[in-house]
Structure 1
Amino acid sequence: MTQRSMETFARNLWSHWKSRDDFLKAQKHVAGILALAFVGNNWPASYPRDENENAAMFWVMNVVILVAALVTLQHDANASARGIQPLSRDQTEEWKGWMQWAFIMYHYFRARFVYNEIRIFVSSYVFMTGWGNWQYFEKKRDFSLERAISMWLRINYFPLLLCLVVGTKLDDFYIVPLHTTGFFVTMATAYVAHVLERFIKPAVQRNLAAIGISLLVHILFYETKAVNFLKFFSDEIFFRFQADKYSTWFGILAGFGWSYVKKAIQFYNTTPPVTLHQNIVSATQGAAGLALILFWYFMFGSIQDKFTYNPMHPYVFWIPVFGYLLMRNASKYLTEVHSHALEFFGRITLETYVLQFHLFMCRDVKHIPIVIPGSGPTGHILVKILNMLLTGAIFVAAAYYARQNTVVTQDSVTDLMNLVRQYYRTGTWPSAEENEEGDVDVPLVRKQESSSSTNEGKNDDV
């Protein structure tokens, strides 16, 4: 391709990119949020976070979110129109929401006494990466470059910009590489299952074979000296990946088995009104879930020395996770209700995770900003609460708009990639009408022009 043809291609690409204005607008908004984060992170008046340790306030704030959850609880009777949907999208967002709230309050009030529980929450996030993406790939069979780049952008775009602008180490945003790796591990596992379809027709055996291969790869990497490769990045990355080395894999396994769980719940809840038998099954399921959580706590979670608990965590974290899922979906009614407040907070989990370092707290989460005079470590509790509410409002608003603009960026880049793919498949750009209408069906052939004629030449399969 000559320089002139490249310039022509670039002009055509720019003019036909229908979401370019949205993309540029989103970048302006992101730049503003980054500037705000830079100012917040370097806020001149602050005090060390260790001086803000307050167990009572940690529990008070968790009671606050519990009240908000109950007030905004909504029952959707139509949620089961397509069959009972345990762990629906609304419910997973709710789950992420209350965990994230506790996680941030754990940081803010230095609640070291719930360290083991917070480790479970972090592993639950990574678990959901495997769980949700496995179901997506199993259903859609979409292993395209567009999907890979789209998800990479969703997870990495804003956090990496924060690292560049504010100067935060990626180690501090360890959940970002954990999620990114989890996504690609899940994609690879699902693709192996897709390839095995040529040799193993039954879906159950095929998927189990792929999941088994994935487990073998995990063991060969994490349980051998090969894991020391992670130290090339940093000791922090080494520790974080070791702590969640099987979290994605357990999520994949759960994603595979969830369809059977749905069938079981559907089977026991098909005949209205609710019968005594159904109540017994629901109570038994809930009790089993509670028993799993209590078992984890008394056997492992109550260990106060984190250096004793940490090596056990990758092998036992799934116990309370499965316990929670059993309890949360113990009846048809429970699968149809969720909290709007927690759902809202769950949708901005990634953004609240990274921005807490710079807006709700500052100096890379090591200090508490003093915005209202008198809200320092020795200030009156009411003034400190007002300071927290003010910084919290700014923090949540910034996280919300960061998510909105990240999604716009993600969609715009995917749109651009589809446009390039369409050109290389057809040799033509979409018409003005097609640009107005949106996406068009793209034939799987590329049109070639004959050098001696303006008519279309022979089509070659791509």
Structure 2
Amino acid sequence: MSPTSRDHISDPFKCSALLNKGHWLDPSPRWASPTSFKNWQPPGCMLREYKRKDIQACFQSKRLVFVGDSTTRQVFWAVAQKLDREKADAGIADMLRVRDHRHMDLEFYAEGVMLQFVWDAWLNGTRLGEELKDFTAVGRKESVEDAKKGLKQSAGLILLGAPGLWYARHGEENYHKDFRDAIDAVIPYMDHSLNPSSPRSAFASREYSPNLLLLAPVQVPWYQDLSPSREETITPEKVDQMNDYLQQVSANSKADILWSYSLMTWNQPGAYEESGLHVVSNVAHRKADVLLNSRCNSDASMKHYPFDGTCCNNYVQAGFAQDVIIFVGMILLPALFLLRRKQPRRFSRLLPSIEVTGALSVFTLVLCYCFYADRTQIFEKAHRQFRSQEFVYGVAAVAVLSLLSIRKNDQTNIAIKEGSSTDPGSLAREQTEEWKGWMQAIILIYHYTHGSQHLWIYMIVRLLIASYLFMTGFGHTNYFLRKDDYSLGRVASVLLRLNLLSCLLPYTMRTDYVFYYFAPLVSFWFVIIYITLRIGRGLNSNIYFLIAKILLSMGLTTAFTMIPGILESLAFVLLKSCNISWDVTEWRFRVFLDMYIVYVGMIMAILFDYTRKLRAGRTPATYLEIIIQFTNRYQGLWRTGLTIVAAILLPLFWKINSVHTKKEDYNFWNPYLSFISVLSFMVLRNSHRLLRTYHSTLFAWLGRCSLETYVLQYHIWLAGDAKGLLGLGLFDPKIEMVVLTVLFLWVSWGVSGATQMLTSWIVDGGTEARGSRNGPGSPVELRLPYRRENDEEREEGKAKGTWRAQKGDGYQSLPLRLGVIGLGLWIANVTYR
């Protein structure tokens, strides 16, 4: 058994890991900078950066008490700054201005939370004794009523700073004995074997007070920077001797000592201030976070997602909804699938087909996998740390793999022909799938490496999302204009395909629908496209009428989204009627970022449709159609000209955007300018027949399950609701990354096929599963990892008339099926949440 495996078994909740181990993920400079010492990584868990609201929710009416010298006072001020930085900075300035105040007790009250610092450099004062006596009373329930009755409550958290520096500097020859006596006096209050009423951890017993008493080790100074007087008395031998005693005490008792504090400064000259004794602000804040995580993470697990504080956290126990999903996904459906497969004739009347039963099994098993991966301590979690070379290497690796997978397009699936039977035309199905695939690959690498911290990578990803929405507008519009299919079946197929996973995951993971924002976003735009083209569909042959509808839709959608009060009213109705909590600010931000690129895609689809019709021999009826026919006649010349323009605009667009230094500035202009980059790439990608004829099969495969990879990455590739990285804790992290990536992609592919099967089953009402659409307007074959029913069963069912309902019957009952599904979701949402 590997050491990491043993640690996982002996410390499943990572409390010991939080207190005793860890390392810096960000670079360790010789001299501190504002960006250094920010990312502290305990082994196997994620340290949450606590903020004002988190501290308020954790402590409420309880106090935080810090006892010790100036090194402990630094942690006191770090917590104070988290509550109210301006007020804390003013308090620090006042303390430094009056020298006598440096050795005095301090109080800081902000946002309903009381912080108290007790100056006790020797750790033997009477105030400390009083606090420790109160701490022994935590075995009984404490409440606000106790305070009303005059009963003093124990502090919610007590941090004791080991007094080694003062004993080393001002102690006599027997300094070590005096130090031991001071420590021996407080250990009985910390030793859980001697004091059973003292809870072992913050979640040891929810019925009793989870108050916590912790001891910080002797701060090891950076000896080279100490003043001559301090250097003479504070020696490595003295400090090491006192910390060695603390290690002995810790080994012989169950006292909690924050050894991670020593590791934060070990061999880190940049972690110290000029005095060589105190740490820089970032290190003090991480010390405060370790302290708060050890006390509050179990309480935080009861609150809202994201569950990104996984150290010393036992998570929320599975509720009724999770229990049902786990039972159905891991026991019931797999059992039914095996029965259906082994005895197909006996159960053909009672159960769906093998394909459907298998799809249900795969779908629910993946929901269970998400739960166990990101809502339990089975998997390890780690922070992300951006390193530019990792992002570049990741992109280069997938680029090489894609080049090795380049193949010729399947000519039987050409969506648009342009003058030649061998020319697949622009935006053929293989090309759009490849486009989605390589964009999704970059987005995944962007999330995994935490590239959002850098503006130039963020700008690239924003253009990729705009490209995806452009294809959404193009694909759906192209389908509606060519097929004239505005049926309920079409709408249900698209919305079910997009939302099955995103609607069921919130019940499994205690998140909400908008959290997986991309599925809601593309669903929103599909509805807008449908309504725009459905109204007055009889006049869609008039290109001017179509353009007018698009412009009107653009104005109404902008008003609906951006005018204050409209979305807020809708969110209020959803909250009261369906118990749906909708973050209106976040939704408005997401929609505005790509407000107009969908309409650009719609306009391009209209032009493509009219080009196709004119090539089919239709006589031009408008000036615009005459212009389109003229460009068709000289398409080679036009293609060359557009290629030159695009080759100029693409780098020029990037150069113009490079002037932005803040995300806010770029986000403001992105909705109005992103189409330049998107159209330029489209022109360049289709500038030559050779480029239109070949595609990367690897990227095309990824593009066919891009929606699933985007949603599932939150829980089975990333961790802590996409705030960190998932790990196994068994092998080298790089090996684990490869294993989990392969598993993640395989699961995403399986869910994609299962979702298509279930969509067809729901919409068709049990008729034979047909090829569905993985991209807007792009027919594809089903890709399912299950075998089809045998021919004998099929023929027998057809002979008896029980082989699935006819297509017409299935569609007639579609409103009823959708109504039942909607009613079930409404009941689950109202009762579960």
What secondary structure, in the 3-state scheme, does the structure 2 residue paired with 1:345 have? helix
Partner of 2:701: 344
Q: 1:101-124: CA deviations, max 9, x gaps?
A: 111111111113211111111222
Partner of 1:205: 544
The one-letter code sitting in structure 2 at the alignment partner of 1:308 is D
The one-letter code sitting in structure 1 at the alignment partner of 2:555 is L
Structure 1 residues 64, 417: closer, same or farther in 2, change over 3 A? same
Structure 1 residues 241, 411: closer, same or farther in 2, change over 3 A? same
Mapped pair 1:366 → 2:690: no
What secondary structure, in the 3-state scheme, does the structure 1 residue paired with 2:407 have? strand
Q: 1:252-298: CA deviations, max 9, x gaps?
A: 122212346777786557xxxxxxxx5x7655433322322223212
What secondary structure, in the 3-state scheme, does the structure 1 residue paired with 2:400 have? helix
What secondary structure, in the 3-state scheme, does the structure 1 residue paired with 2:668 have? coil
Mapped pair 1:332 → 2:689: yes
Structure 1 stretches of 5 or more lacking a match?
A: 1-13, 270-277, 375-382, 420-429, 446-462
Structure 1 residues 83, 179: closer, same or farther in 2, change over 3 A? same
Mapped pair 1:147 → 2:490: yes
Structure 1 residues 84, 394: closer, same or farther in 2, change over 3 A? closer
Mapped pair 1:65 → 2:398: yes
What secondary structure, in the 3-state scheme, does the structure 2 residue paired with 1:369 have? strand
Structure 1 residues 170, 346: closer, same or farther in 2, change over 3 A? same
Alignment of 1:139-218 (within 5 A): 139-196=482-539, 202-218=541-557
The one-letter code sitting in structure 1 at the alignment partner of 2:586 is E
The one-letter code sitting in structure 2 at the alignment partner of 1:342 is F
Alignment of 1:382-397 (within 5 A): 383-397=732-746
Q: In the aligned structure 1, how far is the partner of 2:376 from the partner of 2:348?
A: 42
Structure 1 residues 401, 316: closer, same or farther in 2, change over 3 A? same
Partner of 2:431: 91
Q: In the aligned structure 1, how far is the partner of 2:640 from the partner of 2:681?
A: 14
2:559 to 214, 217, 220: 220
Structure 1 residues 17, 177: closer, same or farther in 2, change over 3 A? farther
> 1:227 Cα deviation (Å)?
5.5
Q: 1:397-434: CA deviations, max 9, x gaps?
A: 11000101000000101111889xxxxxxxxxx98577
Q: Would the aligned equivalents of 1:83 and 1:266 in 2 still touch at CA under 8 Å?
A: no
Partner of 2:608: 258
Q: Would the aligned equivalents of 1:43 and 1:369 in 2 still touch at CA under 8 Å?
A: no
Mapped pair 1:122 → 2:465: yes
Structure 1 residues 359, 286: closer, same or farther in 2, change over 3 A? same
The one-letter code sitting in structure 1 at the alignment partner of 2:537 is H
Structure 1 residues 334, 17: closer, same or farther in 2, change over 3 A? farther
Q: Would the aligned equivalents of 1:193 and 1:207 in 2 still touch at CA under 8 Å?
A: no
Structure 1 residues 440, 172: closer, same or farther in 2, change over 3 A? closer
The one-letter code sitting in structure 1 at the alignment partner of 2:510 is G
Partner of 1:242: 592
Q: Would the aligned equivalents of 2:717 and 2:726 in 1 still touch at CA under 8 Å?
A: yes
The one-letter code sitting in structure 1 at the alignment partner of 2:708 is E
Structure 2 stretches of 5 or more lacking a match?
A: 1-346, 573-581, 616-627, 769-796, 813-833
Partner of 2:277: none
Structure 1 residues 236, 292: closer, same or farther in 2, change over 3 A? same
> 1:193 Cα deviation (Å)?
4.3
> 1:75 Cα deviation (Å)?
2.4
Structure 1 residues 206, 324: closer, same or farther in 2, change over 3 A? same
Taking structure 1 as the reference length, the TM-score comes to 0.78
Q: In the aligned structure 2, how far is the partner of 1:281 from the partner of 1:211?
A: 26
Larger radius of gyration: 2
Structure 1 residues 60, 204: closer, same or farther in 2, change over 3 A? same
Q: In the aligned structure 2, how far is the partner of 1:414 from the partner of 1:143?
A: 14
> 1:137 Cα deviation (Å)?
0.7
Q: In the aligned structure 1, how far is the partner of 2:479 from the partner of 2:497?
A: 16
Q: In the aligned structure 1, how far is the partner of 2:468 from the partner of 2:403?
A: 23
Q: In the aligned structure 2, how far is the partner of 1:34 from the partner of 1:417?
A: 24
Q: In the aligned structure 1, how far is the partner of 2:762 from the partner of 2:590?
A: 30
> 1:221 Cα deviation (Å)?
2.4
Partner of 2:204: none
> 1:301 Cα deviation (Å)?
4.9
Taking structure 2 as the reference length, the TM-score comes to 0.45
What secondary structure, in the 3-state scheme, does the structure 2 residue paired with 1:311 have? helix
Partner of 2:187: none
Q: 1:352-386: CA deviations, max 9, x gaps?
A: 00111111111111121221446xxxxxxxx3321
1:411 to 740, 760, 768: 760
Q: In the aligned structure 1, how far is the partner of 2:800 from the partner of 2:483?
A: 29
2:383 to 46, 49, 71: 49
What secondary structure, in the 3-state scheme, does the structure 1 residue paired with 2:447 have? helix
The one-letter code sitting in structure 2 at the alignment partner of 1:108 is Y
> 1:396 Cα deviation (Å)?
0.4
What secondary structure, in the 3-state scheme, does the structure 1 residue paired with 2:725 have? strand
1:314 to 664, 671, 677: 671
> 1:41 Cα deviation (Å)?
1.3
The one-letter code sitting in structure 1 at the alignment partner of 2:520 is P
Structure 1 residues 435, 204: closer, same or farther in 2, change over 3 A? farther
Q: In the aligned structure 1, how far is the partner of 2:658 from the partner of 2:495?
A: 33
Q: Would the aligned equivalents of 2:478 and 2:605 in 1 still touch at CA under 8 Å?
A: yes
Q: Tell which deviates more after alignment, 18-27 or 53-62.
A: 18-27
Q: In the aligned structure 2, how far is the partner of 1:160 from the partner of 1:289?
A: 40
What secondary structure, in the 3-state scheme, does the structure 1 residue paired with 2:530 have? helix
Q: In the aligned structure 2, how far is the partner of 1:332 from the partner of 1:256?
A: 22
Number of equivalenced pairs: 399
Mapped pair 1:109 → 2:449: yes
The one-letter code sitting in structure 1 at the alignment partner of 2:593 is A
Q: Percent identity?
A: 24
What secondary structure, in the 3-state scheme, does the structure 2 residue paired with 1:225 have? coil
The one-letter code sitting in structure 2 at the alignment partner of 1:25 is G
Q: In the aligned structure 1, how far is the partner of 2:500 from the partner of 2:587?
A: 19
What secondary structure, in the 3-state scheme, does the structure 1 residue paired with 2:356 have? helix
Q: In the aligned structure 2, how far is the partner of 1:149 from the partner of 1:333?
A: 38
Partner of 1:458: none
The one-letter code sitting in structure 2 at the alignment partner of 1:289 is A
Structure 1 residues 238, 388: closer, same or farther in 2, change over 3 A? same
> 1:316 Cα deviation (Å)?
1.2
What secondary structure, in the 3-state scheme, does the structure 2 residue paired with 1:85 have? coil
| CA-atom RMSD in angstroms | 3.1
Structure 1 residues 392, 43: closer, same or farther in 2, change over 3 A? farther
Partner of 1:28: 361
What secondary structure, in the 3-state scheme, does the structure 1 residue paired with 2:765 have? helix
> 1:77 Cα deviation (Å)?
8.2
The one-letter code sitting in structure 2 at the alignment partner of 1:326 is V
